[in-house]
Amino acid sequence: MDWLQVVVLAVVQGVTEFLPISSSAHLILVPVLTAWDDQGLAFDVALHIGSLAAVILYFRHEIFRMVSSSLGAIQGKGVDEDAKLALWVVVATLPVCVFGFIGRDLIADHMRSTLIIGISLIAFGLLLGYADWKKRGSRSEYHMRIRDVLIIGFAQALALIPGTSRSGITITAALLVGMSREGAARFSFLLSIPVIVLAGGLEVVGLISAPESVDWPAMFVGTILSGISAYLCIHYFLVVIKKLGMQPFVVYRVLFGAWLLWFFHF
């Protein structure tokens, strides 16, 4: 890997992992627009480590409270709002685990096409725009009911469809059940932690079963750049949606999806 490839892939991964614009839609363009070889599983693992470190660092205080309260609840000290939020993260992660296990081969073999990605970008982008415009409320991530959590969890499973965007569909579902923009985004980011861990774990299993040479300097730089870009993305996304809402991302998704359809299919 040359250093330009390392920088581009790391920044694209770090930024698109958390914006509601689909990382798969952007990463598919890299081999199309460049002559770069596939970066390999080891580098993918490094990028996931960077993104995971960024979200954990950004929400370190919330995560500490959630873990502490959960341990307290296990010891019989009662369930407070932080312990309940930790439980909601677990519950909302279960559907994507189940559907990911069942449909992994189908998705890998038949759904990673520019046609599906383009349609998903547009369709789920418009749904995000509708949810933000018509349905959002004022509840935070600490004021969810089990019904809300299940809806968000099953919506997250739709992110297995390339082009949907995991953050995009979970934020959409959260807005549809009456959460605020900030609450929806924060819960989506917290949900990313177990999902990234699971995705990275699968890549590690693949790496163990098919060992490959490791470019350690590239992995180190990729991890750092992915982490920095992801951290900045989370911070500024939360700032932007307070002022502008989700509509700029909706416009971007529709235009990007239309371009993909035109470029590859017309």
How many domains, the chain? 1
What pLDDT was estimated at residue 116? 92
228 pLDDT above the threshold of 90: yes
pLDDT tens digits, residue range 16-66? 999 999 987 887 777 777 778 777 778 888 999 999 999 999 999 999 999
Using a pLDDT cut of 90, give the percent of the chain over it: 74
Tell me how far apart the alpha carbons of residues 253 and 20 are, in angstroms, rounded to a whole number. Answer: 9
User: What's the domain range around 160?
Assistant: 3-265
212 pLDDT above the threshold of 80: no
109 pLDDT above the threshold of 70: no
Q: Are 34 and 177 in contact (CB under 8 A)?
A: no
Tell me how far apart the alpha carbons of residues 199 and 203 are, in angstroms, rounded to a whole number. Answer: 6
Question: Scanning the structure block, which residue is given the tokens 């807005």?
Answer: 175
Residue 113 backbone phi and psi in degrees, to 5: -120, 155
Task: Record the tokens describing residue 251, joined without a space.
Answer: 């416009």
What pLDDT was estimated at residue 32? 73
Tell me how far apart the alpha carbons of residues 142 and 124 are, in angstroms, rounded to a whole number. Answer: 26
pLDDT tens digits, residue range 59-92? 999 999 999 999 999 999 999 999 999 999 999 9
End-to-end CA distance of the chain: 33
* HSE-up of residue 229 (Cα within 13 Å, Cβ side): 23
